[in-house]
Copies of this chain bind each other. A is one copy, B any other.
Amino acid sequence: MQANTHRDDSRSPRYYRIYQALLSSIQSGGLKPGDSLPSETSIAQTHDVAPGTARKAVDMLVDRGWVERQHGRGTFVRRADFSHSLARFFRLTDREGVQLHPKSELLGIRELPAPADIARHLEEPEHASLIEIERVRRVDELPLLHEVIYLSRDRFLPLLSLPAEEWGDLLYPLYEQLCGEVVFRATDTLSAGPAPAGPAHHLGLSPGSQVIEITRLAKGYDERPLEWRLSRGRLDWFHYSFDIR
């Protein structure tokens, strides 16, 4: 037989269409974090292509960080990992370069009607009912960040009845376990501005001091906004480096 049965109407490459098909079943939630993808040979069979072509589609998912290969075991949908996001902007390592983990202190949680700008970010109707969480993150008792977090009340209702003692250092596992909402990606935006009295106080600054502001919009698999937060940090703790090319 001849080598080429790829009788394609001028569409995109076959590996690319397979990549898209797999990706959309991850994004739609059909394949959840930790789930295993079909094996490469079975992907090849279902899409009627050679194994190498199926493999190339999986390669793309790996390159883009959607899945992770484990030799001999399979290929698995990755969980989002934020351990190197925010933290990287601050001096969170000790003198030997070891990563330090900040502790979270819950300052308060309440319901409120959505302010206009936050409603817009969360794609909620104006005055929709939101949950506001305020907390401080510390390393060695030194206040590193002051955070205000907004969530849809309807989707995160269980948080309102969680006793203060049971709030851990990380919120996203709580979202997942209590509310079934999984954060998949986020956009952080950095800028600077004056700190209002409350946050300034918690950071040990006088009101109006310049602070770094980090806003985050976190989204689920389906690209639906889940969380909006504003974190403020002391300028003298701020530090970040990265490589170019």
Interface residues of A (CB under 8 A from B): 63, 65, 78, 80-82, 85, 89, 184-193, 210, 212, 235-236, 238-245
Contact = CB atoms under 8 A, between A and B. Distances in A.
Chain B CB within 10 Å — which of A81, A82, A192 has the most? A192
A63 B63 contact: yes
Copies in the complex: 2
30 contacts: A63-B63, A65-B245, A78-B245, A80-B244, A80-B245, A82-B244, A89-B190, A184-B245, A185-B244, A185-B245, A186-B244, A187-B241, A187-B243, A188-B241, A188-B243, A188-B244, A189-B240, A189-B241, A190-B238, A190-B239, A191-B238, A191-B240, A192-B192, A192-B212, A192-B235, A192-B238, A193-B235, A193-B236, A210-B210, A210-B235
Nearest to A91: B191
A103 B212 CA distance: 27
Dominant secondary structure at the A interface: strand
Contacts of A191: 238-240
A210 B192 CA distance: 10
Contacts of A187: 241-244
B190 A241 contact: yes
Given A63-B63, A210-B210, A210-B235, A243 B185 contact: yes
